[in-house]
Structure 1
Amino acid sequence: MSFIPTLLLFSLQLIYLAEGLNIRDLGDVIQKLEDAHFRKADWDKLGISLGLNKNTLDVISANERGDVDRCFTECLVKWLSRADDVDSKCNGKPSYSSLADALDRMGNNKNQADYIRGLSQGKKPAKRQKLDPGSTKKCGSDYKYNDGESEACAADEETDGPPQDLPDWQYDDKIINRVPETQEFHKDLVKDIEILLMPATTSEEDLVVYYLKKSSKKVIETYIDGLRIYIGHYGKSKVIVVMTAPDKSRQGPIHAGVITSKMLEKFLRIKYVVAVGVCFGMDPGKQKLGDVIISGTICDFTNKREGLGENEYQRGPQHQVKPAILNKFRPTHGFEMPHNITVSTGVLISTGSLIDNPDVKKKLLDQKPDAIAGEMEGAGIMTAIDYAPERGVSAIVIKGIGDWGDGDKEATKKWKPFAARAAAHYVYAVLNK
């Protein structure tokens, strides 16, 4: 890498880390605090240091039933949403610099504060390999560092994804900073709502809620049995939004199936269930990061034979998406997706594992060569619906390609919010027509 491109990349990183943060940066903030080895159990002390009121933190603890990971995440959500006295503590608005200052004020997090502050000053920590999101090259050794300037190692292996530049997709800060109205749950809130949107992770939920807040009508945040529910208008349709995996330990078909069943029991008018989020693509020669995939068929690969000989996936049912919901969401609508995003309908593989291994991916494709993408929640959602045939509910998976499942998720890490937004945007555009 020549000096000028390196210096340019370094300068851009400085700008990115120095500018203010908002809710769309939640995933990145969580990752940086995890990288800094911040103790999540101290989330309430961090909240106070960031400018949140004790009452706000008590509400978080009560709503999340003391779950440390969820309390930690909600604390950061409130900070990034600029609740309470955050602006006065953060000199105007949240930033990595103000986060480092807050860690310092806690008194026992100097190393963590230095790590975050080093990032905000453009210094990369030792032995932490990261690639540019547009790069598809694996690095055989760590970055080399010299006085805050980084120089990438020589690439020695190509991944199977083509190089792509991450498009600049602007957000509206007025929408981001709009705060939902918190209410106690009662049945009138969900009266006559037929559509349930189900993002899996917090980062996927953020993008769905962003489009929910685009409406001029009220957005309500409420809780049912410990699950956070959003209610509002998604385009021209009133919807319910619930997340299936509030932390990494709950990703996959089991939790997705249980939560789907619970929602169908609570919301008797639901007719359409839409899983919205991120998937991995199968063919980088024909697909690109950010493209939207719609399930026509969902193949259940949640079971695997682990024997003494060759192991194999025990393929479960092939769930055919019902025409009622497929016709509603198939890409025949009269609008164009931004940034040349392509929308395709086809076969999705649904597994109980996070696929990040080219050999495992190849085995999946060997058994289902017509599959165009893979994900983790669809099989659970479809199974839940199969056990409620009298309801006549239809389900579909609509997800953006965030990586290639090829063992190099780090190279495409910054594409995940883009991919999640692409899926959320497509659903919004359909429901807005």
Structure 2
Amino acid sequence: TNMSKILTIDELIDVIQQLEKARFDKTNWRTLGGTLGLHPNTLNMISANQRGDTDGCFGGCLSKWLRRADNVDKVGKPSLDTLANALEKMNGCKAQADYIRKLAREGDTGKTGEKNAKSTGPKIDSTKKSSKGGGAQARAGDEDIDGPDGQDPPQDKKCRKEEFSEDLVKDIEILLLPATDAEEEPVMEYLKESPEGYIETSIDGIVKMYIGYYGKRKVIVSKIAPDKTMQGPVHAAIITTKIIERVKSIKHVVAVGVCFGKDPEKQELGQVIVSEIICDFVSKRQGEDSELRRGGDYEVNRETKEMFNFSHNLVLPENIKVSPGPILTTPNVIDNPEIKKGLFDKKPEAVAGEMEGAGIMAAIGYVPQRVGGIVIKGIGDWADGKKKAAEDSKPTAARNAARYVYAALNK
């Protein structure tokens, strides 16, 4: 049954989303972790790694549970049944336990079934306002972090497949480009809320695209990298070129997902970076004694910047922080503090780094009169040799970026 099915780390985002829909108070993550069998030392380490960030700690706790750390198997192997039992043991969480059981009965378990049930959990503010500096704080709305406008999650609409045609994509102006599965998943959660469902199609049977409403705007979503070998600026440029050649109405291309941050003293994991300039560190001249950057800087055009401007009165959960600034694009996964320092020494005003932006900007450079590009990504790690320690933050970073884009397109 869905209740007894053993869960794995691949289902981390699904479990997070189900607890959010159940209105679980994330500030109780430590109690939940202990009840599920995690040691106090493990919970303390999670808190230290996440610098006390509630969302990061919540995700880190569930990640350790799904990886069956400490005494998890003695308490009960990860399953919805074990989760519901743990919630029932916690003060004030019986409604959440009942909700998890109801979801399982109705087949609403993320990968084991699509959403069919409306939330019956109590209305709880699961966000926690951060006191750290480092970025403009977007205005909090009256909604919870689990869905737009604080409403109960709507029923999922079925996806239908259609052959690509000009009529199918007519007048669509926005292209959203997550790079990986983990970055695509939270984007698709919003697309699935389209009032009339969403459409799957492809260009030449190669470039898969989804079409639907993201907030109030109709968009195309296409994943850049179906596997890790395709991450980076080259495939980003190829996918962008393919789509804008066939969808003539596209005006804004958005790279949405996860980036690495510059300074943990001034930024925090999960913070959303909205690029003002994309700095190309892909091309460089390597001499015997020196290395010269050859790539240029791409400025986000006025119309695209205005559409996704962080200073607008966007409705966001108050724990999502937002900062503008230049962002670096490299062709490599950076996980070395010296390499990271070398990059930021060459562009000290940059605030973060990622792998796709410059490729997208290079592609749209051939049609600059009608297409603008921007990078909107959440900080998932610090590229400091400790990516493993920060890996639990990446789902939160991806969700925050997807939520920011939703807020911008729903105004």
TM-score by length of 1: 0.62
Residues 134, 412 of structure 1: 8 Å contact kept:
no
Match in the other structure for 1:333: 312
1:353 aligns with 2:332: yes
Aligned length in residues: 300
Residues 37, 70 of structure 2: 8 Å contact kept:
no
Residue 18 of structure 1: how far off its partner (Å): 6.9
CA 356–269 in structure 1, closer or farther in 2 if over 3 Å, else same? same
CA 266–252 in structure 1, closer or farther in 2 if over 3 Å, else same? same
CA 145–270 in structure 1, closer or farther in 2 if over 3 Å, else same? closer
Match in the other structure for 1:408: 386
Residue aligned with 2:351, SS: strand
Residue 306 of structure 1: how far off its partner (Å): 3.9
Equivalent-residue separation in structure 1 for 2:366 and 2:175 (angstroms):
17
1:381 aligns with 2:360: yes
Residues 403, 412 of structure 1: 8 Å contact kept:
yes
C-alpha offsets along residues 182-203 of structure 1, whole Å, 9 cap, x if unaligned?
2222221101111111111111
Match in the other structure for 2:252: 272
Equivalent-residue separation in structure 1 for 2:173 and 2:70 (angstroms):
55
Residues 273, 393 of structure 1: 8 Å contact kept:
yes
Match in the other structure for 2:214: 234
Equivalent-residue separation in structure 1 for 2:198 and 2:271 (angstroms):
28
Residues 200, 211 of structure 2: 8 Å contact kept:
yes
Which one of 31, 49, 54 corresponds to residue 136 of structure 1?
A: 49
CA 130–280 in structure 1, closer or farther in 2 if over 3 Å, else same? farther
What letter matches 1:360 in structure 2?
Answer: I
Which one of 369, 384, 398 corresponds to residue 420 of structure 1?
A: 398
Residue 422 of structure 1: how far off its partner (Å): 0.6
Match in the other structure for 1:294: 274
Residue aligned with 2:209, SS: strand
Residue 330 of structure 1: how far off its partner (Å): 0.9
C-alpha offsets along residues 206-242 of structure 1, whole Å, 9 cap, x if unaligned?
1111111123222111122312100001111001111
Residues 276, 325 of structure 2: 8 Å contact kept:
yes
Residue aligned with 2:167, SS: helix
Residue aligned with 2:168, SS: helix
1:395 aligns with 2:308: no
Residue aligned with 2:377, SS: strand
What letter matches 1:294 in structure 2?
Answer: V
Equivalent-residue separation in structure 2 for 1:234 and 1:340 (angstroms):
21
Match in the other structure for 2:178: 199
Q: Spell out the pairing of 1:61-76 with structure 2 (5 A cutoff).
A: none
Match in the other structure for 2:408: 430
Equivalent-residue separation in structure 1 for 2:333 and 2:176 (angstroms):
22
Residue 169 of structure 1: how far off its partner (Å): 5.3
CA 270–24 in structure 1, closer or farther in 2 if over 3 Å, else same? farther
CA 404–339 in structure 1, closer or farther in 2 if over 3 Å, else same? farther
Q: Spell out the pairing of 1:27-38 with structure 2 (5 A cutoff).
A: none
Match in the other structure for 1:324: 303
What letter matches 1:282 in structure 2?
Answer: K
Equivalent-residue separation in structure 2 for 1:176 and 1:356 (angstroms):
40
Equivalent-residue separation in structure 2 for 1:284 and 1:380 (angstroms):
27
What letter matches 1:333 in structure 2?
Answer: H
Residue 430 of structure 1: how far off its partner (Å): 1.0
Residue 136 of structure 1: how far off its partner (Å): 2.8
Match in the other structure for 2:125: none
What letter matches 2:384 in structure 1?
Answer: D
Match in the other structure for 2:20: none
1:261 aligns with 2:241: yes
Residue aligned with 1:414, SS: helix
Higher relative contact order (CA 8 A, sep 6+): 2
Residue 356 of structure 1: how far off its partner (Å): 0.9
C-alpha offsets along residues 358-383 of structure 1, whole Å, 9 cap, x if unaligned?
10010011111111110110000001
Is there any run of 5+ residues in structure 1 with no aligned partner, and where? 1-15, 29-120, 124-128, 138-143, 150-161, 163-167
Identical positions, percent:
50
Residues 356, 406 of structure 1: 8 Å contact kept:
yes
Residue 339 of structure 1: how far off its partner (Å): 4.7
C-alpha offsets along residues 144-201 of structure 1, whole Å, 9 cap, x if unaligned?
989968xxxxxxxxxxxx9xxxxx9547996696542222222211011111111111
Residue 284 of structure 1: how far off its partner (Å): 1.1
TM-score by length of 2: 0.65
Residues 220, 231 of structure 1: 8 Å contact kept:
yes
Q: Spell out the pairing of 1:17-166 with structure 2 (5 A cutoff).
A: 25=12, 133-136=46-49
Equivalent-residue separation in structure 2 for 1:421 and 1:206 (angstroms):
9
CA 214–392 in structure 1, closer or farther in 2 if over 3 Å, else same? same
Residue aligned with 1:333, SS: coil
Residues 133, 413 of structure 1: 8 Å contact kept:
no
Equivalent-residue separation in structure 2 for 1:324 and 1:147 (angstroms):
51
Is there any run of 5+ residues in structure 2 with no aligned partner, and where? 16-35, 51-68, 75-131, 133-143
1:243 aligns with 2:156: no
C-alpha RMSD over aligned residues: 3.5
Equivalent-residue separation in structure 2 for 1:304 and 1:130 (angstroms):
43
Residues 348, 375 of structure 1: 8 Å contact kept:
yes
Residue aligned with 1:406, SS: coil
